[in-house]
Structure 1
Amino acid sequence: MRVGAAGYDGALSGQEAQGMELHEAGAVALRDLLAAGDLSARELARHYLDRIAERNPRLGSFVTVTAERALEEAAAVDQAFVRARHADHPLPRLHGLPLAWKDLLDVAGVPTTWGSAALASVPAAADDPLVASVRAQGAVGLGKTQVPEFGLTCHSENLVAPAARNPLDPSLSPGGSSGGSAAAVAAGLLPFAPGSDGGGSIRIPAAACGLVGLKPGLGAVPSDLSRGTEDAYGAPRLVVSGPLARTAADAALLMDALSGAAPGTEPHLDAASAATPAGGRTLRIGLSVRSPFEAHLPIELDPEARAALDAAVVLLERAGHRVEETDLRYDNRYHPAFRTVWTSALADLELPPGAEERLGPFARHFRARALARPKGQRLGAARLLAKIAGDCRIQWAQYDAVLTPALAQTPRPLGYFTAFDPEEDYRRQCQFTPYTSMVNVAGVPAVTVPTHRTAAGLSMGVQLIGRRGAEAELLGLAAELELAGN
C-alpha cells in the first residue's frame, strides 16, 4: 500500500509522499495521516500484517501474530475516530499506530512464553501495566516478539521458537533481549516498538540493527514503578521500558506515550523535532572507552566500533558541541557484583516439577549457582552495586552527556554465544556489550544512535549517557546526529 500525496500536508508532502510505501513513512508521518483521516487504522494494520506474513518466516522476529485481534482493535480505533471527530475531541497519542510486545509482557488472552520451554504457555489473564497504558493511547498490537529465555542474554535465541535474525544480514543476531522487536522495526514490520532494558536490552539490538534505542532513567516510565525501584535485597532495579525506532523523532513519539506526557504536550517529540544540524547550543560531552568489566575481562574495540565512535565525534562537533576525553574510573568490584545481582533473580523462579530439566543451558547453569549462593553474598553485592551506582552518577554528571561505543564488536553470528558452555557464553556477552549494564545500575537514561555503516552493510553506533531526567535532551542529541550525518 502506498501513501498518496493528495490532501496531505503533514510530515510528508508532495514528492516525498507520492509513491512511498506505508512502512517507509515513519511513525510520526503515519500518525499524521491517521489523524487527518487520510488513512484508516485497519488499512495500516492490514499493511503491516501482510508484511509480517511475508517476511517473518525468514526473520523469526514474531513468535505470535494476533492478526484477527489486531484487525478488531483497528476497527474499534476507526470507530473511535469517527466519534471523536463528531464530538471535536482530541485523538489519543498513538491513535491507530501498530506495534508489538516482547514475549516477556502479559497481554490479556495471549500466551506469554518468557522464551522458556520450562513454563506452561497459557493465555495471560490481564495486561501488563505497560501494555495497558500503551493500548489506552490508541495503539494496535500485532503480536509478540522473540526474546531470549527470561530476557537474560544479549541475543534472541531460545528453545521455544526460531531465533530472531538481523535484517541487515540474516546470518547474524539482532541482539537481545528486545531482538525480535528490533528486527521487526528494522525490517519494516513495525513502525516502532516498546522494549525493555535491564542491561542493554533496548540499546544492544538497536545498535545491531541500525535503530535509535532509548533506555529511560528509572522512574521515567510510570508503569515501571509497579515493580519498585529496588529489588528485595536493595539492589537498584535494573529493568526499564523504552522505545525502539528508526529515527529519533519516532522514538520520541513513543517515549511521550510511555512516559505519560500530559495531553496536548509532546516534550520528547518537541526536543527531537527542534534539532538542527547546528543546534545553537554547546554541550560538554565526555568521551570514554573505559568499561567496568575491564578489570576482569579483556575488552577490545573492533575497528568498526572505533569508526562509529570517531564518526560520532565529528558529527557532534559539527553540531556545535565540545567533545573531550575523560578520565572515568570504575570500581574493580563491579563485574562480580553485577553478575551476582543480574543472575540472582533466577533463584526466585517458581518452577513446576520437572521444569528444571526444560530450562536452556544458560538459565539452568546460572539458576543452580543462584540457588547455592548464600543470602549474605546477595545482600553484599546489592549494597556494593548501589554504591557503584552513586559513583557513576557523580562522575558522569561532570558532563552534559557521556559518549561511549554502543557495542565493542560488530553484530555476532547466530550461535556465537549459545554454541559454548554458559560461562564462556557469559564472558562473550560481556565483551560484546561492555558499556551498557552500568547505565542500568546507575538508573540514568542513555540512547544509542547509528553513526557508521560497514563495507558489509552492517550498522554500528554509539551510546550517549545523560543525567537523570535528560531523556528529551538525549533524543534531541540523537536527532542532531541524524541531521549532521545527512
Structure 2
Amino acid sequence: MVHAADPAPLVEAPVPDSASPMIDFRAAGAVQWRRDFVAGEVSAVELTTTAITAATSQSQLGAFLHLDPESALARAAEIDQVRRAVLDSRTGASRSAAMTELAARAPLLGLPTAFKDLLDVAGMPTTRGTAALPPSTPAHDHPLARRVHGSGMISIGKTQVPEFGLPCYSENELGPAARNPLAPARTAGGSTGGGAAAVGAGMLPMAPGSDGGGSVRIPAAACGLVGLKPGRGRLPDDNQLVGVRNLAVSGPIAHTAEDAALLFDVMAGHRFRPSEAGDGLPEGPALAQVRAALNHGLDQLSIGVITESPFSPELDIVLAESAVLALEQGLALLEERGHILQGSSHCTGTEAFWPAGYHRDFQALWTSPLGELDPPAEQLAAMAPLTRYFIELAKRRPERETQESIAALEDFATDAETLLGPWDVLATPMLAYAPPEIGWFASLDPEENYREQCCFTPYSSVVNVMGLPAINVPTHTDAEGLSWSIQLIGRVGAEEQLLALAATITQA
C-alpha cells in the first residue's frame, strides 16, 4: 500500500531495563552467540533484551507487526535458569560434557528470533498481513514454530508481511512498511520482508522464513543476506504434497552461510552430533559440511550459467549494471575456487532454455487458489487492489485454461532436474534492479504492478515450480551501499552443498 504516513506499530514495546543491552547482533554471528550463551558469557535475558531493544529503537524500519517483550523475557529467564542448573555446579570435564549434551538437545538455546505473520505462534496474533479479516490468536504453534522453539529459540514477536504473502514487497494497512536497512527509503522485499529487515538491521541473529515464489531469496537479496530455499518436501514441517500446486517451503535467512546452515539443521530436524574437530559444540550435517568446506574447500563442481529469464520474451527483462556485476563477481569467485563454468548453450545449443509460455502459466498457477475464494463484498473491498485483481483474474480465467497451464508446469517440473544437464549447480542473477522505494509497486495499476514484480524478480519463481533448492548469495555492494547477489540452484537434496558453496565464495 502507499502510506501517506506510516501508522503506529500494533504494539508499542517498552525498552527493557533488566540488562545493559548490546548494540545489535551484527557484532558476531549466530554460531558465536550460541557458543557464548552455552559458555555462560552472555545470558538469554541479555540476548532477548538486545533483540527487543533493537526492534523498538528501530521501529521506523517496520520489521515487526507485533512485539511480545514480556513473554519473551519470561521465557529467556526460564532458559537462563535451566542453563545454570545444568552447568554452573560442574567443573572441568563434567562441565564440558554437560555443555555438549545441552547444545545437542537444544542447539539454539537462548537465541531470539521471530516468525513472519503468516505462521501461527501460540499466544501471538496472526494477521496474514490483511485488514480484511480479523486476526486470530492460536493456542498452539505451527509445527515449524514448535520445532524451532524446541531448539531453544525465543520468539519476540511477528514480522511484517504483504497481504497473504502474495507480493514481493512487505506493505499493508496494519503497520509500517518493511524498510530496507541498507536504504530505508526502499523496500526490504517480501514476503519475508520484516524478517529480512530484522536480521539485516541486527535486531535478530537469524530468522526462519517461507518461500513460495522467492519470498526468502528476494528479501535476503534486497537486504544483503544469505537466504536458502530448500527443495519441495525437504523440511518435515512443510507441505509434503507432490506437484507444482505446492510452491511454498520454509527456509533460513541469516548474515552468513554458516548461520543459515545452523538454522537449517534445526528446521530440517537434523540430529546434532559432536564436532569431528573435537573443538566445538555439536553440529548438524549442514553446519558440518559448511565448516569442512571453509577449512578444506569443495570438490570441483560444474556450474551452468544462465541469464535468460523464464519470463522472456513475454516480459522485457533488463538487468541493471550492478546485477550483472554481482553475477560476474560471483562467477569469478566460483572459478577462483576451482569450479568449472559453462554457459547454457553448452546444454541447449540455440534452443530456448526455459519452457515456452512460462509467464502465462505461472500467473495461472499463482492465482488459481484465489479463484476458489468467495469473500463477502465488504471483505473484498478491504483487500489490497493487487489481491482483488488476482481474485478477479482467477475467476475470469476459464477453468480449462487454468488446468492446461498447471499441467504444462507439472510436465516441466516432473523432469526439472534434467534441465541442469551436465551441471551440478545452475547460477543466475537474483534481482534485476535495485529494490524500489516504499509505495512504488502499490502506486501502479495492479496489472502493471504484477508485471513489474516479475521483472524485478525474474529468476526466483521458476525454482519453486521446479521444486529444487536454491540459495541467494551476496557478491557485490554498489556505490550507494546496496547489496547485489547471485542465485545458485542445486539438484534434489543439495541444500547442504549449496550452503557450503555459498560459504566458500563469501569467505573473507
Pick one of 467, 470, 473 that aligns with 2:494.
470
Mapped partners of 2:298, 2:502: distance in 1: 15
Mapped partners of 1:122, 1:81: distance in 2: 34
Q: Report if the CA contact (8 A) 2:25-2:205 is conserved.
A: no
In structure 2, give the amino acid aligned to 1:197: D
In structure 2, give the amino acid aligned to 1:302: A
Are 1:47 and 2:61 matched, yes or no? no
Mapped partners of 2:296, 2:436: distance in 1: 35
The equivalent residue for 1:160 is 174
Q: Which consecutive residues of structure 2, in runs of 5 or more, have no partner in the other structure?
A: 1-21, 91-97, 274-282
Give secondary structure in 2 for the equivalent of 1:324: strand
In structure 2, give the amino acid aligned to 1:249: E
Mapped partners of 1:120, 1:351: distance in 2: 13
The equivalent residue for 1:138 is 152
The equivalent residue for 2:315 is 297
Q: Report if the CA contact (8 A) 2:24-2:203 is conserved.
A: no
Mapped partners of 1:67, 1:259: distance in 2: 28
Percent same amino acid among aligned pairs? Answer: 46
Cα deviation 1:435-485 (Å, max 9, x = unaligned):
0001000111000100001011100010000001000100011011111xx
Q: CA deviation at 1:131?
A: 0.7
In structure 2, give the amino acid aligned to 1:291: S
Pick one of 271, 284, 290 that aligns with 1:266.
284
In structure 1, give the amino acid aligned to 2:244: A
Q: Report if the CA contact (8 A) 2:210-2:250 is conserved.
A: yes
The alpha-carbon distance between structure 1 residues 387 and 82, as it changes in their structure 2 partners (threshold 3 A), is same
Cα deviation 1:372-421 (Å, max 9, x = unaligned):
33333332222211111134321114201011001111221112211111
Mapped partners of 2:388, 2:271: distance in 1: 44
The equivalent residue for 1:99 is 113
Are 1:336 and 2:336 matched, yes or no? no
Cα deviation 1:201-248 (Å, max 9, x = unaligned):
000111111000000011111000xx3324xxx634100000000001
Give secondary structure in 2 for the equivalent of 1:274: helix
Q: How does 1:313-352 map to 2 (within 5 A)?
A: 313-327=331-345, 329-349=353-373, 351=375
Q: CA deviation at 1:162?
A: 1.2
Mapped partners of 2:24, 2:151: distance in 1: 25
Q: CA deviation at 1:21?
A: 6.0
Pick one of 436, 440, 449 that aligns with 1:416.
440
The equivalent residue for 2:129 is 115
Give secondary structure in 1 for the equivalent of 2:219: helix
Q: Report if the CA contact (8 A) 1:295-1:332 is conserved.
A: no
Q: Report if the CA contact (8 A) 1:278-1:480 is conserved.
A: no
Mapped partners of 2:48, 2:459: distance in 1: 37
Q: Report if the CA contact (8 A) 1:217-1:443 is conserved.
A: yes
Mapped partners of 2:50, 2:489: distance in 1: 36
Q: Report if the CA contact (8 A) 2:289-2:497 is conserved.
A: yes
Cα deviation 1:3-43 (Å, max 9, x = unaligned):
xxxxxxxxxxxxxxxx9965411100000011112211111
The alpha-carbon distance between structure 1 residues 22 and 113, as it changes in their structure 2 partners (threshold 3 A), is closer
Mapped partners of 1:83, 1:200: distance in 2: 43
The equivalent residue for 2:4 is none
The equivalent residue for 2:263 is 254
Are 1:312 and 2:330 matched, yes or no? yes
Q: Report if the CA contact (8 A) 2:302-2:424 is conserved.
A: yes
Q: TM-score, normalised by structure 2?
A: 0.87
Pick one of 31, 48, 58 that aligns with 1:28.
31
Give secondary structure in 1 for the equivalent of 2:253: strand
Q: CA deviation at 1:70?
A: 0.6
Mapped partners of 2:157, 2:416: distance in 1: 38
Q: How does 1:160-179 map to 2 (within 5 A)?
A: 160-179=174-193
The equivalent residue for 1:78 is 80
The alpha-carbon distance between structure 1 residues 84 and 236, as it changes in their structure 2 partners (threshold 3 A), is farther
Question: What is the count of residue pairs matched by the alignment?
Answer: 460
Q: TM-score, normalised by structure 1?
A: 0.91
Q: CA deviation at 1:82?
A: 3.2
Give secondary structure in 1 for the equivalent of 2:293: coil
Mapped partners of 1:352, 1:114: distance in 2: 18
Q: CA deviation at 1:349?
A: 4.1
Q: Report if the CA contact (8 A) 2:186-2:438 is conserved.
A: yes
Q: Which consecutive residues of structure 1, in runs of 5 or more, have no partner in the other structure?
A: 1-18
The range that moved more, 433-442 or 277-286, is 277-286
Mapped partners of 2:192, 2:505: distance in 1: 23
In structure 1, give the amino acid aligned to 2:51: Y
Are 1:125 and 2:139 matched, yes or no? yes
Q: Report if the CA contact (8 A) 2:244-2:466 is conserved.
A: no
In structure 2, give the amino acid aligned to 1:37: G
Are 1:229 and 2:241 matched, yes or no? yes
Pick one of 251, 255, 258 that aligns with 1:242.
251
The equivalent residue for 1:286 is 304
Q: CA deviation at 1:84?
A: 3.7
The range that moved more, 140-149 or 381-390, is 381-390
Q: Report if the CA contact (8 A) 2:431-2:457 is conserved.
A: yes
Q: Report if the CA contact (8 A) 1:118-1:351 is conserved.
A: no
Mapped partners of 1:375, 1:83: distance in 2: 62
Q: Report if the CA contact (8 A) 1:397-1:467 is conserved.
A: no
Q: CA deviation at 1:366?
A: 0.8
In structure 2, give the amino acid aligned to 1:267: P
In structure 1, give the amino acid aligned to 2:28: A
Are 1:197 and 2:211 matched, yes or no? yes
Cα deviation 1:333-391 (Å, max 9, x = unaligned):
21111111111122344645621110000001111222333333332222211111134
The range that moved more, 276-285 or 236-245, is 276-285
Q: Report if the CA contact (8 A) 2:272-2:285 is conserved.
A: no
Mapped partners of 2:158, 2:298: distance in 1: 42
Mapped partners of 1:291, 1:392: distance in 2: 16
Q: Report if the CA contact (8 A) 1:277-1:319 is conserved.
A: no
Q: Report if the CA contact (8 A) 2:167-2:453 is conserved.
A: yes
Mapped partners of 1:131, 1:271: distance in 2: 25
Mapped partners of 1:336, 1:33: distance in 2: 51
In structure 2, give the amino acid aligned to 1:49: I
Q: How does 1:180-219 map to 2 (within 5 A)?
A: 180-219=194-233
Give secondary structure in 1 for the equivalent of 2:227: strand
The equivalent residue for 1:403 is 427
